[in-house]
Amino acid sequence: MEAPPGGVDDMTRLSYLHEPGVLQNLATRYELNEIYTYTGSILIAVNPFQRLPHLYDTHMMEQYKGADFGELSPHVFAIADVAYREMINEGKNNSILVSGESGAGKTETTKMLMRYLAHLGGRSGVEGRTVEQQVLEAKSSP
Which residues are annotated as part of the binding site for ATP? 100-107
Size of the chain in residues: 142
Q: Note every long-range contact of 22-30, with CB atoms under 8 Å and residues 24 or more positions apart, other chains counting.
A: 28/3
End-to-end CA distance of the chain: 57
5 vs 28: CA distance, rounded Å: 8
- Give whole-number Cα distances, 134 to 45, 76, 77, 118, in Å: 26, 21, 20, 10
Q: Are strands 36-39 and 42-45 parallel, antiparallel or unpaired?
A: antiparallel
Which residues fall in the annotated binding site? Answer: 100-107
Among 85, 95, 93, smallest CA distance to 121 is for 85
